[in-house]
Structure formats: C-alpha cells, structure tokens
Amino acid sequence: MPAKSAVRSNHLHKTIQLGLFLVALCAASLCAANDRNYQETHNDGHDFVSGGFVHIRLSVGDVHVRRSDSTKINLRYTIKSDRERNVKEAHVDFDVHGSDATINLQAASGSNTEIDVDLEVPEKTNLDVHAKVGDVTVEDIEGDKDVTLGVGDIRVSGGAGPPYRLVNASAGIGDVSGDGYGETSGWLGKTLKYRGEGKYELRAHVGVGDIRLDGK
C-alpha cells in the first residue's frame, strides 16, 4: 500500500505541474497579444567596487547582465505598457551602500507593464536576481550567482577566472543543460548538480522554462 500511495502522489504532483505549465503558456500568450504602445527608456549609473553584491528584483520583463569595463554600474531600462499612465507610475529604486547595490523595478499592481533591464557591472560581481516573468541572461561575470525566475528562460555564460565549486540548477517544468557540468536528472522538470574545484557558487531555479549554462 505505501508504494501504491507514493506512485499515486507522484502522478498527482506531475499533473499539478503540467497544469501550471499550461496556465503559464496561456498567460504568456495573453501578454504577447496585448500591444504595449507606450514606452520610456531611462539610464542611471553609480560608482561601485569590484567584488561587490548586486541584488535585482523585477516582476515582468527581461534582464540582461553583462560585464562593464569599469567599476561603475550602468543601468538602462525600458518601461513598456498599453497605457501611458502605467508607464508613468512605474518606478525604479537604485541604491548603493558600499559594496552592496539594490535595484528594485516596480510597475503598478495589475497593470499590463513590463520593464526590460540592461545592466553593466564590474567583471567581478556577485549577483542575486529574482524575477517573476521574463528571460534572465548573465554574460561574462565572475562571482557567485543566485538566479530565481518564475516563468521564462535563464542563460548564464562565460566569466573569466576559476570554474565553479558548486552548481545547483533546477527547472520545475522545463530543461536544464550545462556545458561540462555533468548530466541532468528528472522527467518533467530537470535538475543539475555539480561540484568542482572553483571559487564561486552558481544557483539557478526556474518554475516553468529552461536553464542553459555555457562555458565551464
């Protein structure tokens, strides 16, 4: 009986995951169908330090983080919506305290608004990214990385210096691929775990979507 109960519970879990996946697909289609005729692009920047920690919080939109040739954080973001009022009501809090920076991008609650982010940080920067819907791309950054995403794709590539000492990547519904980080496990969702002799840790999780890790 316990074995049958465990099998039944596993099937239920997979059914719930599939239902969430279909809901996410419908939500993505609805978002794509709505025209965002109003948009504004802004730029901001702060002096920073090599080896600092950058925290990013975003509800809907794409995040692209790449290496800067200086020790400055350069932020460029575009607010898009179907109503001009929603664009005006969106706001960004960008605070730097010593070696710690926080970027919080917020749109009006319930509005059809997305904020796309293009961020340049020093080559050696630790990243903490939490987003709900969109794609997250990190390129050529050396440091610890913690990326959590609800619906969308995560891609982490490059980065000079030693490889990671720990990689832990998982997708609730989707695929995980890692160049040189070993095999993934799982069926509807995938998990990848790796331990090496590097210096940094990489943790990535997406609820519905794919994760791709390039360049060990």
pTM for this entry: 0.83
Does residue 172 register a pLDDT over 80?
A: yes
The pLDDT value given to residue 215: 65
Q: Compare 128 and 185 and report the one with higher pLDDT.
A: 128
For 23-82, how does the pLDDT look when each residue is reduced to its tens digit (9 = 90+)? 554 454 444 445 668 999 999 999 999 999 999 999 999 999 999 988 999 999 999 999
Q: Looking at residue 60, what is its pLDDT?
A: 94
| Domain limits, the chain | 33-213
The dihedral region occupied by 65, where left means phi > 0, alpha psi between -120 and 50, and beta the remainder, is beta
Tens digit of each residue's pLDDT (9 = 90 or more) over 110-163:
778 999 999 999 999 999 999 999 999 999 999 999 999 999 999 999 755 557
pLDDT at 48: 95
| In the predicted structure, residue 18 carries a pLDDT above the cut 60 | no
Predicted confidence at residue 214, as pLDDT, reads 84
pLDDT at 35 (0 to 100): 64
CA distances 159 to 21, 55, 99, 120, 213, Å, are: 32, 18, 20, 14, 11
Residue 19 pLDDT? 54
Most confident among 8-12, 66-70, 107-111 (mean pLDDT):
66-70
In angstroms, rounded to a whole number, what is the distance separating the alpha carbons of residues 54 and 66? 12
Q: Please, which pLDDT band fits residue 108 given cuts at 50, 70 and 90?
A: confident
